[in-house]
Amino acid sequence: MRYLTWLNIALCLCFTGCNRAALVKKVVPQEDEAFARKYVDLLRQRAFDQIEQKLDPSISSSDVRNTLTTMAEMFPAQEPHSTKVVAYNLRHSLTLEYEFPDKWILVDMSIKRINNASTITGFRVTPILDSLEHVNRFSLAGKSTVQYAVLGLAVAAPIFTFYVLAVCLKTKNQTRKRLWAIFILVGVGKLGVNWTTGSLIFTPLAVNVPCGGATTIRFYGPWVVTVNLPLGAILFLRRRSRSLVSNQVHAADPAELP
């Protein structure tokens, strides 16, 4: 019961995750977020000259003014209800999500920093139907049989490995117990399912601890539920079963043996 209690706590943390807003503040540099917000505001104000001064030569073109005009027209005249960073990577690329009364807009911006000078190497505006947090929420309603199957395996695999780990720790005269305990927790290969789209992901060359779980793509991206083959646990049970049979044979009365 103690092992199952810790497992339930781990699964709850895995599926719910930590506070996303707090995570964004820790990961996203303030200067990158402030830079992106500033130039999106300038886009909404149609201050195209100021934006063009910050465009990197790699994306400058004769048609840039028309492109900026088209992107500016996607924004409503009202002020947004909320703005937040929904994606970021270490290459100074981030995605801002704007909530308006009747629409949502994503803004992708890539920033290049050289000698404390910043330029825009990518700028894209995309209208969406709903917030990413709502679209990619973890829900059990309306999912396919494959999604439920992978979810069931993702829950069952860690339970199985923790059970085998408990058996290993309680087994007397077990050689290399510590190594076996580590190996039991290792899963190989990876089968995952995108919880929003239902698409499958298979990676044969993968090692993971524990053998199942769920992670999100980016901060507010879709959940990906994954399961790994508990190879260490399976091999330990197989070895233990053979050892028990061998011990029973040696302990039996020779007269009773055929």
Q: Dig out the tokens for 116 from the structure.
A: 């404390």
130 pLDDT higher than 80 = yes
Task: Answer whether 220's CB lies under 8 Å from 87's CB.
Answer: yes
Backbone φ, ψ for residue 205 (5° rounding): -100, 85
Least confident of 65-79, 196-210, 211-225: 211-225
DSSP secondary structure code for residue 171 in this structure: -
pLDDT value at residue 16: 46
6 pLDDT higher than 90 = no
DSSP 2-61: HHHHHHHHHHHHHHH-S-HHHHHHHHS-HHHHHHHHHHHHHHHTT-HHHHHHHB-TTT--
Task: Answer whether 168's CB lies under 8 Å from 181's CB.
Answer: yes
pLDDT value at residue 81: 95
Residues whose CB is less than 8 angstroms from the CB of residue 153 and which lie 6 or more positions away in sequence, other chains included: 191, 212, 227
pLDDT value at residue 37: 96
The confidence band for 3, taking pLDDT boundaries of 50, 70 and 90, is very low
Tens-place pLDDT, residues 23-41? 788 889 999 999 999 999 9
Least confident of 141-145, 193-197, 207-211: 207-211
Tens-place pLDDT, residues 164-186? 999 999 888 778 888 999 999 99
pLDDT value at residue 4: 46
Q: Closest Cα partner for 151 from 99, 224, 233?
A: 224
What is the average pLDDT value for the chain, to the nearest integer?
86
**Mind listing the domains of the chain with CATH numbers?**
20-135 (3.10.450), 138-241 (no CATH)
pLDDT value at residue 254: 53
- Whole-model pTM: value is 0.71
